[in-house]
Structure 1
Amino acid sequence: MAPTRQRWLVLAVGLFAQTAASSLVYGMPFLVPALRDQEGLSLARAGLLVSAPIAGLLVSLIAWGALADRYGERVVMASGLVVAVVSSSVVGLADLGVRGSAVGLFVAGVGGASVNAASGRLVMGWFPRDQRGLAMGIRQTAQPLGVAIAAAALPTLAKDVGVSRSLLFPASLCALAAVLVVTLAADPARTPLDPTAAKPLSPYREPVLWRLHTASALLVLPQFAIAAFSVEYLVRRQDWPVAAAGGFVAVLQVCGAVGRIGTGVWSDRVGSRLRPMRQLAVASAAVMLVVAAGDQWSSWLAVAGLAVGAVVTVADNGLAFTATAEIAGSQWAGRALGIQNTAQNVVASAAPPLLGALVGASGYAVGFGAVALFPLAAIVVTPVAAEAHRLRAAEREPVGVSGPPARP
């Protein structure tokens, strides 16, 4: 197979694997109504099951990234997917109770995290620099696609076959993904390191990656402010019907996924990930202020701000991941992507309850206005000036790992 065709095939496999894992890790919220109606669980106990796979993902991302740096992407992704399939199937087929199911889902999240950590590294290895923005933008559409699949399938399956057995659907997707990874997702070519050569120093000895992770985490706040509260805001404050609000937000999610691809192409053309990321931080701050002003004075302005914000606030995600891998260099990319993903997920988990408390105490105008402070801080923190210098340093480092080269 020609290298160009193969790299796009590898991207397609990585995209499917990430989508399958996302449908499992982030799909539990769509089973909450069935958990309460069919299983009689309290909201707190249902919440335990929702958080279990996400917790498993959070605690294992960096470790999976380190394994990908050492042993390659394919074996890490395939192994993790098998763990996710087995653990979620046990939850689906056995009567484990709430605590047992939570443990099983936690392990499934650990397995699913392998794809988060390694698929980005896989894409980075196969694509040249002038195509990585596009490729990573496409890869970053996997999470919303996985959530959309879970939203469409799991509630109906829970009604027809029961809550536990509905988990066999994302498990089957992960099983198919594991097969595709093993058969089609070859690791990018690597040059074995000279065992007598000094190991590359950690890129974290300099502040560039720390600043990048911090800026990216700050930009998660407006993203999840809009994602978590758009439907509630439209229904409670703008008097929209629930179905209309849900449909509107679903369309915006698709637009946001397309926007990630567009910003990836933009970064390829300008030869920088962090200049567009800083400009998007400016746009995110502006749009949150527009929503806050609209809530105070004009309902149509608030709705327009939410629509634009749903695209703008997610557009930087692929840029941050691409920049992280490029700046870290080939031998640190997996660990760096694990740290990047961990930081984002920690902030994403904390954002809804904290913002909810602020909105409950002070109203939406104050809440959305306060969120604008975070992208404003990201404008300052984003290490645009250091990007070119660190990239030149990374390019001088060896481009392989110890061990045999990947098979073609």
Structure 2
Amino acid sequence: MLRRLPAEPSPSAAGADPNIWAILAIAVGTQTAGSFVSQGVYILVPFWREAFGISLASASLAVTVMNGVQIATMFTLGRAIDLYGERRIVGLAMIGMAIAMACAATIANSFVALLICMACLGGTYAAVQPGGTRAIMRWFPPSHRGIATGFRQAAVPFGTMIAAALLPLLAIHYGWQAATWLGAAISMLGAILFFGLYREGSEFTSSKSAPLRLLSLARIVGQDPQFWPVLRLGIAMSAFQFTFTAHMIGFIADGLKLGLIAASSLFAATQLAGIPGRILLPWLSDRFWPGLRARSFGAVSLIAAASAVLLAVLPVGSSTITIAAILLVLGFFGIGWFPLYLLQIAESAPKSSIASTIAFASTICLAVMAAGPYLFGLLADYFGYGVAWAVLLLPVIITSLPLIAGSRSALSSHQS
């Protein structure tokens, strides 16, 4: 059993303090639990469609409502984390997620009632990302933040994989309420883990600085010359990753004529490749290009875009091995990019407003994630996949090049 953690270590000693890895285990466990519950909503949509006798589009409103409320509440919760600490806000948010799922399982006897529960779920899950990242920033020195953020962000697809394995089985054999109860239990375990074992340390208890309000925050972080370029690329990559996730199976099955079963298997392999990508890419960046994380982010994004271009121009009838090889590269870089972006945004933040800055950037990215798949589908329907791919990938290429060029200039200046 983990012992109570002492006060926050100093940056110089933190790299040798074993307690930072206990902190990482707590952050990974909490993120896994949060992802299991939130991504489980996507998995349960077909079961809700059948249970309530509604169309797939109507059932998908559960996802839309959850994400919409998450977007609306994220900055407020991020500021609350900066005010009151991540332990209290994230712990309470995980309890709120458990209550929302328990209510869905017990009193959601209509689809409208279910939507209300999903709105509560999205509003509480919004605290998990900024709170967990702030914990990494608080405890880990710069030399260890890349690998720590990578492990924590790998918990997102890991939690999704567990949910995909367990929730359909429960829903089929015992009903969707049983699957929802499991989500409530997992969320409560995450709350107990974070409340029971995580400690904020002495720096938080002695700090009196209030977090900045939105306009002041945007002005302050904008003074970092890399903040807006990194955010622009993060927006482009968010649209790319989630649009690709939403349309990949259809593109491979219909556009490349590979069939639905093969396309689904390749999709799973692509997601799996993203897990080591999220761990290794930030570690490699900190190991070989310390202090130049923005350049790494730009390079990783460019490789992901190039892989997508190769996939988009493949002729019908291409071998499964060729498609799989491109998709593995695409999964590694196209999913693995996020820790580099998240950490660069966090390190641009004022010390009193780390969670607020993350929430500000995440809110914009979430809005693009929600709109991207729909717009890509419209373009593909009216103009074909070629135009849709071009509109999706050009922003990634355009916004990644300045980061690579700018960071090379910074490297040359540093070496001279």
- Write out per-residue CA displacement over residues 101-140 of structure 1, whole angstroms, 9 at most, x where no aligned residue: 1111111111111111201110111111001000001111
Equivalent of residue 204 in structure 1, options 221, 225, 231: 221
Q: Name 1:325's counterpart in structure 2.
A: 346
> Quick check: 1:360 aligned with 2:381?
yes
Q: Name 2:107's counterpart in structure 1.
A: 94
Equivalent of residue 390 in structure 2, options 363, 369, 372: 369
> Quick check: 1:233 aligned with 2:273?
no
* Whole-Å separation in 2 of the counterparts to 1:56 and 1:198: 22
* Whole-Å separation in 2 of the counterparts to 1:388 and 1:14: 35
- Write out per-residue CA displacement over residues 128-179 of structure 1, whole angstroms, 9 at most, x where no aligned residue: 1001000001111122122212211222222222223421111111100111
Q: Name 1:403's counterpart in structure 2.
A: none
Matched-pair contact (CA < 8 Å) for 2:278–2:337:
yes
Structure 1 unaligned regions, length at least 5: 390-408
Q: Name 1:405's counterpart in structure 2.
A: none
Q: Which amino acid aligns with 1:259?
A: G
> Quick check: 1:244 aligned with 2:259?
no
> Quick check: 1:277 aligned with 2:297?
yes
Q: Which amino acid aligns with 2:182?
A: F
* Whole-Å separation in 1 of the counterparts to 2:111 and 2:202: 45
Change (3 A) 1:198 1:129: closer
TM-score when normalising by structure 1: 0.87
* Whole-Å separation in 1 of the counterparts to 2:211 and 2:189: 40
Change (3 A) 1:129 1:388: farther
Aligned pairs, number: 388
* Whole-Å separation in 2 of the counterparts to 1:282 and 1:65: 30
Q: Name 2:96's counterpart in structure 1.
A: 83
Q: Name 2:82's counterpart in structure 1.
A: 69
Once structures 1 and 2 are overlaid, which stretch shifts more, 235-244 or 246-255? 235-244
Aligned counterparts, 1:162-241, within 5 A: 162-190=175-203, 192-193=206-207, 202=217, 203-206=220-223, 208-241=226-259
Q: Name 1:395's counterpart in structure 2.
A: none
Once structures 1 and 2 are overlaid, which stretch shifts more, 176-185 or 231-240? 231-240
Q: Name 2:414's counterpart in structure 1.
A: none
- Write out per-residue CA displacement over residues 57-112 of structure 1, whole angstroms, 9 at most, x where no aligned residue: 21111111111111111111101111111121111111441112111111111111
* Whole-Å separation in 1 of the counterparts to 2:141 and 2:120: 35
CA apart distance, 1:225: 3.5
Equivalent of residue 310 in structure 2, options 285, 290, 294: 290
Q: Which amino acid aligns with 1:243?
A: I
Once structures 1 and 2 are overlaid, which stretch shifts more, 242-251 or 132-141? 242-251
Equivalent of residue 105 in structure 1, options 118, 122, 141: 118
* Whole-Å separation in 1 of the counterparts to 2:126 and 2:279: 23
* Whole-Å separation in 2 of the counterparts to 1:77 and 1:198: 17
Q: Name 1:13's counterpart in structure 2.
A: 26
Matched-pair contact (CA < 8 Å) for 1:285–1:372:
yes
Q: Name 2:144's counterpart in structure 1.
A: 131
Aligned counterparts, 1:325-404, within 5 A: 325-380=346-401, 382=403, 385=406
CA apart distance, 1:364: 2.5
- Write out per-residue CA displacement over residues 384-404 of structure 1, whole angstroms, 9 at most, x where no aligned residue: 848999xxxxxxxxxxxxxxx
Q: Name 1:402's counterpart in structure 2.
A: none
- Write out per-residue CA displacement over residues 333-392 of structure 1, whole angstroms, 9 at most, x where no aligned residue: 100111122122111111111111112223323322332202112224549848999xxx
* Whole-Å separation in 2 of the counterparts to 1:66 and 1:29: 28
Give SS of 1:314's match: helix
Aligned counterparts, 1:51-70, within 5 A: 51-70=64-83
* Whole-Å separation in 2 of the counterparts to 1:143 and 1:193: 31
Matched-pair contact (CA < 8 Å) for 1:26–1:54:
no
* Whole-Å separation in 2 of the counterparts to 1:117 and 1:388: 31
Change (3 A) 1:175 1:362: same
* Whole-Å separation in 2 of the counterparts to 1:387 and 1:190: 35
* Whole-Å separation in 1 of the counterparts to 2:408 and 2:310: 31
Q: Name 2:14's counterpart in structure 1.
A: none
Once structures 1 and 2 are overlaid, which stretch shifts more, 200-209 or 146-155? 200-209
Q: Name 1:394's counterpart in structure 2.
A: none
* Whole-Å separation in 2 of the counterparts to 1:244 and 1:296: 14
> Quick check: 1:266 aligned with 2:279?
no
Give SS of 1:372's match: helix
* Whole-Å separation in 1 of the counterparts to 2:250 and 2:263: 8
Q: Name 1:150's counterpart in structure 2.
A: 163
> Quick check: 1:314 aligned with 2:341?
no
* Whole-Å separation in 2 of the counterparts to 1:215 and 1:381: 10
Matched-pair contact (CA < 8 Å) for 1:53–1:106:
yes
> Quick check: 1:50 aligned with 2:67?
no
Percent of aligned positions that are identical: 26
Matched-pair contact (CA < 8 Å) for 2:211–2:353:
no
Matched-pair contact (CA < 8 Å) for 1:292–1:302:
no
Give SS of 2:127's match: helix
CA apart distance, 1:10: 1.5
TM-score when normalising by structure 2: 0.85
Q: Which amino acid aligns with 2:343?
A: T
* Whole-Å separation in 2 of the counterparts to 1:49 and 1:198: 33
